[in-house]
Amino acid sequence: MQSTLSYAIIMLAAGIGVPILAALNAALGQRLGSPVAAAVVLFSVALTIAAVILMISGPSKLAGVVSAPKHLFLAGGLIAFYVLTITWIAPKFGVGNAVFFVLLGQLISAAIIDHFGLMGALPQPISVIRAAGIAVMGLGVFITQLA
């Protein structure tokens, strides 16, 4: 139970960071005149922080990267797509609107991944309640667009 609460708090903090990341990087992109330049800066800072943490925690953990299945590296492309698109679109569409649609996409893809147990996820079938929750979220996104 303690680890579940700890995980929930950490992921809540990560979730809080998503719109902050979007707003900060969108502002940097506007200041630089280029969402791509802002993304490069963001990735450079992120790489530096991750590399420092890796060096502290044990660089030998990186040894398995050569034998890892190549499709797992698609995650890097997906994060680049997210950062580039949110940096470009948020100033035009609004951070809230952009993040709401990202969240809706996350709910839908997470439900599909869990339902089929894709990529090693613990299978958790989509129930009526879960489907209703996604529908309510979709309605919430629609309502935010009316304001």
User: What is the reported pLDDT for 145?
Assistant: 75
Give, in degrees to the nearest 5, the angle at Cα 87 between 13 and 31. Answer: 110
DSSP-derived 3-state class of residue 69: coil
Question: Residue 37 to residues 26, 27, 33, 41, 147: CA-CA distances in angstroms?
Answer: 11, 12, 8, 6, 32
CA distance 131 to 82: 25
**C-alpha 14 chain-centroid distance:** 9
User: What is the reported pLDDT for 137?
Assistant: 84
User: What is the reported pLDDT for 147?
Assistant: 65
Q: Where are the domains of the chain?
A: 1-93, 95-147
CB of 104 closer than 8 Å to CB of 141: yes
pLDDT along the chain (147 residues), means of 10: 88 92 95 97 97 94 92 95 95 89 89 94 93 88 77
